[in-house]
Amino acid sequence: MLFTSYGFIAFMAAVLVLYYLLPKVCQWPLLLVASLAFYAIADWRYLFFIVFTAASAYLIALKLESIEARRKAILAQSPDMSKEEKKALKARHKAAQWRWLLLALFLELGVLAVTKYTNFVLENLGKLFRDGRFHAIDMIVPMGISFYTFQTVSYVIDVYRGKQTAQRNFLKLLLFVSFFPQLVQGPISRYGDLSKTLYGPHPYDGKAVSFGLTRVLWGYFKKVVLADRIITAVTALIADTAQYTGTYVFVAMLFYAFELYCDFTGGIDITIGLAEAMGIKVAENFNLPYFSKNIKEYWNRWHITMGTWFTDYIFYPISVSKPMLKLSKWSRDHLGKAVGKRVTVYLSCFAVWLATGIWHGAAWNFVVWGLMNFVVIMASQELEPLYARFHARFHVKGKAPYEVFQIVRTILLMSVIRMFDCYRDVPMTFKMVGTMFTRFNIHVLWDGSLLALGLTGADYGVLIIGFFIVLGVSLYKARRGSVREALYRKPRAALYGVMAALALVIVIFGAYGVGYDSSQFIYNQF
Amino acid sequence: MKRKAFLSGLAVFLALAAVLWFCQRLLMPKYQTGIVEGSMVEEYYREELPHEVLFIGDCEVYENFSTITLWENYGITSYIRGSAQQLVWQSYYLLEDALRYETPKVVVFNVLALKYNTPQSEAYNRMSLDGMRWSGSKAAAIRASMTEDESFVDYVFPLLRYHARWSELTGDDFKHLFSKDLVTHAGYYMRVDVKPQTGFPPPMVLPDYTLGANAMGYLDKITALCKENGIALILIKAPTEYPHWYDEWDAQIVEYAEKNGLPYFNYIGLRDEIGLDMTTDTYDAGLHLNTRGAEKMADYFGRYLTENYDLTDYRTDPDYAAVWSEKVKYYNDMKEQQYAELAEYGHLVSFGANAIEG
Amino acid sequence: MDTLLSILRSIHPEVDFELCDTLIDDSILDSLDIIAIISEINAQMDVTIPPEEIVPENFNSAEALWDLIERLEDE
């Protein structure tokens, strides 16, 4: 069920109504049933995968905890243990825990790897060896597997690290793994965060419900009115690589940046808003990312839960691992301090961005996309002394025009890198981005060519107004804070009025359904 | 405080519902100029008096039989519940729907639509279904007609279907928000212009000439429904030749009619007897009859009806006479206007698919 | 403590580490800084900070970090 289908809207409404009508003890079981149903409606076979992942995490987390409990029991029984004995005991138990953790990672990431990447590997082996025996096979890829696997992995690691107590109720853990609003596109929640509010009970709270639904409507506005409208032009532009070169690529780049922003943040708004309406707090995934002044900041504000996941579970463990520290020490001694300092950061960053790229999709485009991010981040890191000198001479730092310049620069840079997930393959992307500089056809911006991309003048009108609405709301958020709180301080009709207006705008101006087209009527034939 | 919040919420909700309702009325196509076929199904409900003869089917009924001629020449009260590309299941449910208001003595069904066994086109579906009043028949008709991409909700709230028309609203949409003009004459769609028939492309060879089981199943249901209600059912094939009506199909209908004791007339072979001249009696090169042709067809068919069925001549009934004299007047006025346009421009300007809004 | 302060200053000379206790909350240190600090601590003080200890509470101030180092040395 797509978020934008009538089915999902009905499903959401039914769950919400039942959620507050049923006795409060039924709230989280209702969500579990709804989540499994949501999954089963897509394809009932998916259930096996998600239950397997949840069950293995459940059992291994309990095992990890019992090993730790045993150590504590031994310590309590023998108070006169020497420091060395204690250390040895800890090492022994840690080693046992480590083996269980590895098993968990193997099972969970294994399912992810097999379902999502088998075909990628097979196809590339086929190309490499020019052997027809390696070809893609028909395989089910469970919906949202990247997201729920990451959630589950973070849960097990947190238990391993002693940051989190294990959940004893399997069904509760299953709900954490399968919670339907975030199943398809995240955010990637941490058990410690989500579990605080996931299981309730939540008495009906009018404010929470109206706030949540306002956010859901805002999400639909961005998704249905803006993203689903502009996607027509984006698709047209990237489909015809022969015709749409030069300035068209630039247009495609900006349109895609806008589409992706509206689609992704809109979807997340629907997720978080729906949860909020049920009293559940889901982690924020975006913090006005297009106001970032540099790429590093951008990645702290865009798809935040993914970024922190990679930082906490890949970047830190790799960079502080014993071999890495040793390598760092060795290079410091043999290659000098400058290299020694960098080697950890570079290697860990490389690993993270490689993983991020692969996680986004099983294709070379994404690998290159990830590595481009790595290159840009490292370059800006290296250029920092230069920036410092620049700022010492020219006092523009913190001034509005310079900040706007930084923001625009960041958006453009991110948009260029993102072209890798638009075009067919890596060479094509390089070629198309190249034409931006070699083909001079800027006149297409005003000679009506943009009206041949499947969007009418009226559509552009909606997009332009929508763009300024989104920009206005973002600026308000950046400067004054929550728009909803501001509305809430006014008479209640103001918030309700905004909700009604959003609903109306979505229904009328949404780009959904079979467009009415009287030309479909082939009159003469009948 | 809580009460106040609830009341303001309710007020806003009701206001939203009212605005949405208004938008729906505004954005739904009015079908008043150009493609008027979308108005046909809805117009039926404006009839004041019952009819003894009811036609169901596609353009081969609503363009080929002048109901006014049937009245003027024989005093027959008839109505054509036709619509563009009306599929058999739509005919069935439209008949079922009509039976909620009246029980005619004779139902006439044109068999061309039997060539379609599955849902065809969203646009035509909307024109046949949007105008229906809500009933079990409408719900069933929608379910039987939906193509793969359609959803039932779009029929319940047509706004969801037509919302995108906001950028192409015309004067008609505002003018006819709450009132529509009649576009047919008891279901008959008038065209007086002439474009002689010249010839048709040779019919394609089909892999299978068996009429579909689904379509024939609905014909069975039509037959049963008529039997149940004591209605005489007549099967016809209109005298026009395109889309091609294959002999193999005809044979199946002949057999079906025999088996069920129904009269079946294929008028293609009877054109001389009717007096049809396809050089003067068609407005679109032989696809459909023009008014001249439709009047000949109606005169011929009316004679058959009066000779074989116990129909009342209502011309002496003052109630009927009053209602029908208005129809006759509207019919004659429109005819006059169409001839005037032909005389002035050489073609029709405010009628037909490409008509300009007046 | 002095070694620690000198490590911190080598990374962000402009910050007053003796006073600031919102190094993470105010995004003064980012993830790259953190691992630079950890590898410096490892190199100069021979203390290994495991990933599970990389939480805001341990890195928000020089003092918190110092407490962490002492605790890890103790274990």
* Closest Cα in chain A to B8: A493
Tell me which of C52, C72, C73 to substitute to probe the interface with A (most A C-beta atoms closer than 10 Å): C52
Q: Do A509 and B35 touch (CB under 8 A)?
A: no
- What are the beta bridge partners of residue B28? none
pLDDT band at B215, cuts 50/70/90? very high
Q: Do chains C and B touch (3 or more CB pairs under 8 A)?
A: no
Q: What is the pLDDT along chain A (526 residues), one digit of tens a residue?
A: 788 888 899 999 999 999 999 999 999 999 999 999 999 998 888 899 999 999 999 999 999 999 988 888 888 888 887 878 888 888 888 889 999 999 999 998 888 888 888 878 888 887 777 766 677 777 778 888 889 999 999 999 999 988 889 999 999 999 999 999 998 888 999 999 999 999 989 999 888 999 999 999 999 999 999 998 998 888 888 888 888 888 888 899 999 999 999 999 999 999 999 999 999 999 999 989 888 888 888 888 899 999 899 888 988 888 888 888 888 888 878 887 777 778 888 888 898 899 888 888 778 888 888 898 899 888 888 887 788 788 888 887 778 888 899 899 989 988 888 888 788 788 888 888 888 888 888 888 888 888 888 888 899 999 999 999 999 999 999 998 888 888 888 888 888 999 999 999 999 999 887 754 433 333 333 3
Tell me which of B7, B8, B24 to substitute to probe the interface with A (most A C-beta atoms closer than 10 Å): B8
- What are the beta bridge partners of residue B266? B237
Q: Which residues in chain C are contacts of A322 at CB distance < 8 A?
A: 48
**Residue B288: exposure state from Cβ atoms within 10 A (0-12, 13-18, ≥19):** buried
- What are the beta bridge partners of residue B82? B57
ipTM given for this complex: 0.86
A434 closest CA partner among A230, A253, A235, A233: A253
Distance CA A279, CA A16 (A): 11
| Secondary structure (3-state) at B220 | helix
Q: Could you tell me the residue ranges of all domains in chain A? A: 6-202, 205-282+446-512, 290-441
User: Number of CB pairs < 8 Å for A and C?
Assistant: 59
* In contact, B105 and B52? CB cutoff 8 Å: yes
> Any idea which fold C2-74 has?
1.10.1200
Q: Do A348 and C35 touch (CB under 8 A)?
A: yes
- DSSP label of B270: G
The residue-averaged pLDDT of B73-93 equals 95
Q: Do A329 and C31 touch (CB under 8 A)?
A: no
* Closest Cα in chain A to C75: A87
**Residue A232: exposure state from Cβ atoms within 10 A (0-12, 13-18, ≥19):** middle
Q: Do C51 and A296 touch (CB under 8 A)?
A: no
* In contact, C75 and A83? CB cutoff 8 Å: no
A320 Cα to chain C: minimum distance (Å): 7
Q: Could you tell me the residue ranges of all domains in chain C? A: 2-74
- What are the beta bridge partners of residue B234? B108
Q: Do chains A and B touch (3 or more CB pairs under 8 A)?
A: yes
Q: Do C39 and A349 touch (CB under 8 A)?
A: no
Determine the Cα angle at B92 with ends B89 and B95, to 5°: 150
Distance CA A503, CA A337 (A): 60
Burial code (b: 16+ CB inside 10 Å, e: under 16) for A424-460 equals eebebbeebbebbeeeeeeebeeeebbeebebeeebb
* In contact, B123 and B33? CB cutoff 8 Å: no
What does pTM read for this prediction? 0.89
Q: Which two tokens stand for residue C66?
A: 């110092």
C43 Cα to chain A: minimum distance (Å): 6
pLDDT of residue B234: 96
C39 Cα to chain A: minimum distance (Å): 6
Distance CA A402, CA A405 (A): 5
A258 Cα to chain C: minimum distance (Å): 27
B208 Cα to chain A: minimum distance (Å): 22
Residue type, A104: A
pLDDT of residue A427: 82
Distance CA A146, CA A144 (A): 6
Contact partners for chain C, using 3 or more CB pairs closer than 8 A, are: A
Structural domains of chain B ordered from first start: 34-345 (3.40.50.1110)
Known catalytic residues of A? Answer: 360
CB atoms within 10 A of CB A165: 14
pLDDT of residue A515: 56
Q: Do C35 and A325 touch (CB under 8 A)?
A: no
* In contact, A119 and A136? CB cutoff 8 Å: yes
pLDDT of residue B358: 54
| Structural Rg of chain C based on CA atoms | 11
| Residues of chain A with a CB closer than 8 angstroms to some CB in chain C | 87, 90, 161-163, 296, 300, 311-312, 315-317, 319-320, 322, 324-325, 328-329, 332, 340-341, 344-345, 348-349, 381
Closest in C31, C42, C49 to A311, CB measured: C31
Tell me which of A509, A521, A524, A525 to substitute to probe the interface with B (most B C-beta atoms closer than 10 Å): A521
CB atoms within 10 A of CB B228: 9
* In contact, A248 and A441? CB cutoff 8 Å: yes
What is the end-to-end Cα distance of chain B in Å, rounded? 54
Tell me which of A229, A516, A524 to substitute to probe the interface with B (most B C-beta atoms closer than 10 Å): A516
Q: Do A526 and B167 touch (CB under 8 A)?
A: no
